[in-house]
Amino acid sequence: MAGQGRSLYAEHIAARQRTTEAALAECGYDALVLSSGAPFTYFADDQEPPFHENGHFAHWVPLRGPHHVLVLRPGAKPRLVRVAPEDYWYEQAPLGSPFWADDFDLQEVGTIEAAWKLGLDGKRVAYIGDETARALAAGIAGEHHNPAALVARLDWERAYKSEYEVACMDEAETIAAWGHRAALSAFDHGASELEIHHAYLAAVRCTEAELPYPTIIGHDEKGAILHYTGKRAQRNGRVLLIDAGARHLGYCSDITRTWTRKECDSRFRALVKGMDELQLKLCERVVPGLPYPDLHAAAHVMIGNLLHEVGVLKIAGDEAFDAGLTSPFFPHGLGHFLGIQVHDVGGRQKDPSGGLLPPPPKSPYLRTTRKIEEHQVFTIEPGCYFIEMLLRPHRNGGKADCFDWKLIDELSEFGGVRIEDNVLVTASGHRNLTRPHI
């Protein structure tokens, strides 16, 4: 990252310093220690899941790997201690000259113990991370580990993306789009779920463990399983629902597309086309000041209207939503914050001090209840699925004649449709980060 990117990063670090200093002052601390985290093993095993750095640490610096320590104090350059042990089991690549190095008082040590020589005696210090035993040994009392009031303030700030972060996310969109285009091409040629997955990985040029989340690649009826991670070998699906992202410098993209081949039922194809159109209309409604749950409610009505047009529902969208008849088709939230974590922090916060806004009772899975504001990045991902478990209670319910059950049974073999873009909130609306690419 050179030139303009370099100055964007300097601005990002200056903003982190400013917001951290304010949060420390409000919570009565003199310093904050963050560590990148410790790997862990499965029960009774010596194998580890892929390591993810502590998000609070990753918010400052894209330094990969466990056990690094960052010490933040008001008015002082952040001190970053990189743990680089002599080791022949794992690669210990030299750091080189990363673009971020000048923004830290950077030190390299050979042991984890050396990284925890903090030099903060007599200060009121908070620690955020999972290496609490080391923090305790370094003199930070347990009551100052992950203090809720401080974590809430930092989570709140993470919702407002700096220009550096948006540039990282733009790149993550570009990379994921390579994968989505390769997946579409493979699907058009009749590839299996497993082959499409491999085509995706080859195109994004990373391992599966480096993706922000496991790919969801479902043909036909499997598209109705919201987190389907099976990878079947059968070829020639008629529908492909693919939900897959990428990472750049720790920042995620999260994109879903639903594609059909000519063998797919024309009524299901109308559902896919209608979902694509209404997804864009929902993006157009994004504006600072709007509570995200209002957008979620609008999605229910629009999806209800689409189901009405296709003939699945015999009543209009607003009536269907009021009667709870859109939820069996759209049983998840419209979207979530996106950033270092694919389901990023802070989406249900009412304010910086930690108050929460619960989701509406009809939509318990909605992850974003916060008011929409400039610089937020979130997903807009309306969907519609034929999920027998959710439809069954309605087959003999009081509103059973509001549904065309014959049509539902005919369309069920095509699974479901979801269209997901990532959007940045601007001063007057939004910028769609995904559509320029796929």
**Where do contacts with Mn ion occur on this chain (CB under 5 A)?**
254, 379
Closer to Mn ion at the Cβ: 259 or 337?
337
> Which CB sits closer to Mn ion, 55 or 78?
55
CA 375 to the chain's CA centroid: 16
Q: How far is the CB of 376 from Mn ion (least distance, A)?
A: 15
| Closest separation in Å from C-beta 265 to Mn ion | 26
What is the nearest approach in angstroms of Mn ion to the Cβ of residue 232?
A: 22
399 vs 171, 313, 368, 384, CA distance in Å?
A: 47, 11, 30, 19
Residue in the block written with tokens 């991902």: 381
As a dihedral over the C-alpha atoms of residue 206, residue 210, residue 214, residue 219, rounded to 10 degrees, the angle is -10
Choose among 79, 48, 78: nearest CA to 66: 48
Taking Cα atoms as reference points, which of 52, 55, 50, 77 lies closest to residue 64? 52
Which CB sits closer to Mn ion, 252 or 312?
252
Q: Give whichever of 31 and 286 is closer to Mn ion, judged by the CB atom.
A: 286
Question: Nearest 5°: phi and psi at 150?
Answer: -75, -45
Q: In the complex with Mn ion, which residue's Cβ is closer, 203 or 216?
A: 216
Using the minimum distance from each CB to Mn ion, give the nearer residue, 27 or 244: 244
Integer angstrom CA distances of residue 333 from 23, 193, 365, 383: 30, 25, 6, 9
On the CB side of 36, CA atoms within 13 Å amount to 22
Residue 242 beta carbon to Mn ion: minimum distance, rounded to whole angstroms: 12
DSSP codes, 269-288 = HHHHHHHHHHHHHHHHT--T
Residue nearest to Mn ion (CB): 254
Q: Report in angstroms how near the CB of residue 342 gets to Mn ion at its nearest.
A: 7
Bridge partner residues of 207 (DSSP)? none
Nearer to Mn ion, 335 or 352 (CB): 335
With left for phi above 0 and alpha for psi between -120 and 50, is residue 124 left, alpha or beta?
A: beta
The least distance separating Mn ion from the CB of residue 321, rounded to whole angstroms, comes to 22
Q: CB of 379: closest distance to Mn ion in angstroms? A: 4
